[in-house]
Amino acid sequence: MNQEQNSGILLQKRYQIPYELFKTAFTAFQKKFVYPRNYMMIAVLGIVCMIYAYFVVNGSESDRPMYCIVILCALLMIVFQILNPLKIRKNLMLAVREIENDQYQLTIYPEYLEIGTILPPEDAGNPGNIPDSELDALFDDTPGENFSGTRIYYNKNLQVHEYPEFFMIYQQKTMFYVVPEAVFSEEELEILRVHFAQKLDQNFS
């Protein structure tokens, strides 16, 4: 990060995402983007079931097996629409257990934000079992941290939503970032709200 970028930083925070907070955030994400579509599919499939149930009762007897198969397929699809989001959430939360101690960093610039993971220093090993004090003197420093992040510009596709415990940041409906509010002071939260409102307008809520 060069001096020009440093001078343009509006706010920078490091944080961790507790397991329960991520679970709450992912549930909110599903409610916003997954469940509405699923509810629509369930409603359509429910209508299909009712139509073919009518045909079973009032249609020709020879066609009833086919009607029953259609109803069974529709019911199975309804069950899938209900259970699949729960399965995805369960599998994701199992993976989150492995990374809940990871550190993240959010940096706010005037025209974009940068968000990513703080990686531990690379360990080059210690050939010859040289004492740590001699290694420090030899290299005049200890290995630095690495940052793996994504730069996200403010545009019509970027949306930020504030919840009681976190901000949800996303550009597409398949990927999102969670930033806990607890790491910010009230003054910093107000800076974030004003900045997002100016840059994103209706895409911030």
Give pLDDT tens digits for 146-158: 777 788 899 888 8
Which spans in the chain are helix H? 3-7, 19-33, 35-58, 64-96, 132-139, 186-200
The mean pLDDT of 84-103, rounded to a whole number, is 86
- pLDDT at position 133 over 80: no
- pLDDT at position 82 over 60: yes
Query: pLDDT at position 171, please?
Result: 80
Confidence of residue 4 (pLDDT cuts 50, 70, 90): very low
> Across all residues in the chain, what is the average pLDDT?
82
Q: Which is nearest to 102 in space by CA: 16, 12, 14, 19?
A: 16
The residue type of 127 is: P
- pLDDT at position 138 over 80: no
The mean pLDDT of 110-121, rounded to a whole number, is 84
- Each residue's pLDDT tens digit, 11-57: 888 998 889 998 999 899 888 888 999 999 999 999 999 999 988 88
The mean pLDDT of 118-137, rounded to a whole number, is 55
Topology given in CATH for the domain delimited by 1-16+102-205: PH-domain like (2.30.29)
The sheet that has 146-153: what strands, in order across it?
11-15, 103-108, 112-119, 146-153
User: Which range scores top for mean pLDDT: 80-84, 169-173, 199-203?
Assistant: 80-84
Query: pLDDT at position 195, please?
Result: 92
